[in-house]
Amino acid sequence: MAKFEPIKGGYVNLTIDGIEYRVYYEEAGKGIPFLLQHTAGAEGIQYRCLLNDADVTKNFRCIAYDLPFHGKSLPPLEHDWWKERYLLTLDFLMKFQDAFIKAFELKRPAYMGSSMGGHLAADLAYHCPEKYCALIGLEGSLVTAPQHSRHSANDAYFEMYDNPFIGKEALGGSMDMIIAVQTPERRRKEITWCYNKSGPGVFAGDINYYNHDHDLTGKADRIDVGKCMLYLLTGSYDPATKPSDTKMLADQVKGSYFKEMENLGHFPVTENYDLFKTFLMPVLEDILKREKGKR
Amino acid sequence: MSGASKTSMERLEEKLCTRFEQAVPKRVNSDSHFVWRGRNLTADCLLQIGSVQYLIRFEQGAIKECRRGLPLMCSWDFAVRGSARAWEELWQDPPKAGWHDIGALIKRGEMTMEGKLHPLIANLQYFKDMMELPRKGGSK
């Protein structure tokens, strides 16, 4: 008998800055809404193990979406997107969050994001904590560490990852650099394959937010975890965001939660979900405790 | 230089070079799928282990030449240079966090990539897998 998974997919049309985007999402579970943001150049499928985990979905309505230009979310039909360079911005990400929450009529959801999504957790904590009940940043930091390049960091990424002379497999190879060595080979290859199939120029364009827009230097100490708790988890084998990078952010956000995840890298949710879960569950239990009687 | 007068660094480099020479050309060329993955790579690479330089000539994914020391007036397309410690740590099984990949080593200043990087980046997974061949076992 065929095995069906308890995940339902759908499309929602969101208007952001006057442009309508058809956005794909997958969801499972019931309870506290839990938004799941993928990494740069990737898609919500990274959360497939979590969406299948009854220990999580029994208390959380988990929703993993594909940002426009990612996964099954096409570029906007009514906009000449090909006439401009694709660049993801903090402004767009925040408006996307607002539009998504409004469309689904979600009340103070929890949020978790990885890599650029981890950066976004901290940005949301700074800009609009009142909209969320909890923010979880995976592989997030105060600011992206400067790259050693003759170009600006953004131009270096475009040269390597949006270049007709370089195939998209280079992207997977680059991501392979930041996966923990303990990761099962089949999971490792799933991660790199998903990167290899991303849209042209999308990873490089996403890095605009990751490298440029995200910078909480001089601001992070104003994040108030009394308004919304900020949890920070970072893998020990992540050279892109080292645990010490995340700790620098955590040290500035008084009362935030920080944990280094041994034997995980830049993609903890997909590298080894069972291991990641051992770090995630105490966080989810804390969220449930804090939200008890509030809903 | 006699063996007795060698410094500990020279002994380490010799050990690393032996591991590299025993693993890399043979295991690449004897694996037809490995060669197929690099079918679009034809380039000359300078690979440096500590102070020891190698010239590796790739031709359609196969290693046609791997020689220690560069001939005079020898040009190359791209170079990957690492300290002896970088290679020693990279080939541990398992390697320590932060020493486990060429990307991590570049970030910590123990390794560099130089020259015309397009052929290297375009074949990054092939190249990374080749450089990690001396590590026995592990997930690779």
Domains of chain B (ranges, CATH numbers): 8-135 (3.30.1050.10)
Optimal mutation site among B33, B37, B100, interface A, most CBs of chain A within 10 A:
B100
Q: Which of A122-131, A138-147, A230-239, B124-133 has the lowest mean pLDDT?
A: A138-147
Query: What DSSP string runs through B13-39?
Result: HHHHHHHHHHHHHHHHHT-HHHHHHTT
A192 Cβ under 8 Å from any chain B Cβ: yes
CB contact under 8 A, B107 and A170: no
User: CA nearest B130: which of B40, B18, B26?
Assistant: B26
Give the per-residue pLDDT at A151: 52
CA B1 to chain A, closest CA, distance in angstroms equals: 38
Give the per-residue pLDDT at A285: 98
Give the per-residue pLDDT at B43: 97
Q: What is the CA radius of gyration of chain B?
A: 15
Query: Using a CB-CB distance cutoff of 8 angstroms, which residues of chain A are in contact with residue B95?
Result: 181
User: CA nearest B44: which of B132, B122, B115?
Assistant: B115
Distance of CA B138 to CAs A177, B11, B82, B93, Å?
A: 15, 25, 21, 6
User: What mean pLDDT comes out for the span B52-73?
Assistant: 96
Contact A76, A68 (CB under 8 A): yes
On average, the pLDDT of chain B sits at 92
CA B4 to chain A, closest CA, distance in angstroms equals: 37
User: What mean pLDDT comes out for the span B15-39?
Assistant: 95
Give the per-residue pLDDT at A159: 77
Structure tokens, B21: 């020479």
How many CA atoms, within 13 angstroms, populate the side-chain half-sphere of residue B77?
Answer: 14
Query: What DSSP string runs through A187-230?
Result: HHHHHHHHHHTSPTTHHHHHHIIIIII-B-TTTGGG--TTTSEE
A193 Cβ under 8 Å from any chain B Cβ: no
Which of B100, B125, B139 has the CB atom closest to A169's CB atom? B125
Judge whether residue A174 has pLDDT over 50. yes
A93 contacts: CB under 8 Å, gap ≥ 6: A67, A120, A123, A209
B62-68 and B52-59 beta bridge pairing:
antiparallel
B118 Cβ under 8 Å from any chain A Cβ: yes
Judge whether residue A79 has pLDDT over 80. yes
Which of A174, A178, A181 has the CB atom closest to B124's CB atom? A174
DSSP A42: -
Q: Is the peptide bond before B94 cis (omega within 30 degrees of 0)?
A: yes
Judge whether residue A150 has pLDDT over 80. no
Range A115-136 burial, b when 16+ CB lie within 10 A, else e: bbbbbbbbbbbbeebebbbbbb
Give the per-residue pLDDT at A169: 87
Q: Which residue of B has its CA nearest to A184?
A: B139
Which of B101, B118, B123 has the CB atom closest to A239's CB atom? B101
Query: What DSSP string runs through B66-103?
Result: EEESPPTT---SEEEEE-HHHHHHHTSSSPPTTSSSHH
CA A157 to chain B, closest CA, distance in angstroms equals: 11
User: What mean pLDDT comes out for the span B85-97?
Assistant: 96
Confidence of residue A153 (pLDDT cuts 50, 70, 90): low
Phi-psi region of A37 (alpha: psi -120 to 50; beta: other; left: phi over 0): beta
CB contact under 8 A, A236 and B97: yes
CA A163 to chain B, closest CA, distance in angstroms equals: 9
Distance of CA A286 to CAs A77, A110, A121, A229, B127, Å?
A: 42, 12, 17, 10, 44
CB contact under 8 A, A166 and B104: no
pLDDT in tens, A234-277: 999 999 999 999 999 999 999 999 999 999 999 999 999 999 99
CB contact under 8 A, A173 and B128: yes
Which of B126, B127, B139 has the CB atom closest to A182's CB atom? B139
CB contact under 8 A, A163 and B118: yes
A222 contacts: CB under 8 Å, gap ≥ 6: A126
Which of A170, A176, A192 has the CB atom closest to B121's CB atom? A170
Give the per-residue pLDDT at B4: 60
Q: Which of A9-18, A201-210, B74-83 has the lowest mean pLDDT?
A: A201-210
CB contact under 8 A, A236 and B107: no
Confidence of residue B137 (pLDDT cuts 50, 70, 90): very low
Confidence of residue A59 (pLDDT cuts 50, 70, 90): very high
Contact A147, A240 (CB under 8 A): no
Judge whether residue A55 has pLDDT over 80. yes
Judge whether residue B47 has pLDDT over 70. yes
pLDDT in tens, A176-225: 999 999 999 999 999 999 999 999 999 999 999 998 899 999 999 999 99
A236 Cβ under 8 Å from any chain B Cβ: yes
Judge whether residue B139 has pLDDT over 60. no
Q: Residue B17: count other Cβ atoms within 10 Å of its Cβ.
A: 17
- For the ranges A143-152, A156-165, A226-235, the maximum mean pLDDT occurs at A226-235
A147 phi and psi angles, rounded to 5 deg = -90, 150
| CA dihedral over A49, A51, A52, A56, signed as positive or negative | positive
Helix (H) or strand (E) holding A275: helix A273-291
User: Could you say which of 3.40.50.1820, 3.40.50.300, 3.40.47.10, 3.40.718.10 is the CATH number of the domain covering A8-291?
Assistant: 3.40.50.1820
- Rounded to two decimals, the pTM is 0.92
Give the per-residue pLDDT at B60: 97
CA B120 to chain A, closest CA, distance in angstroms equals: 9
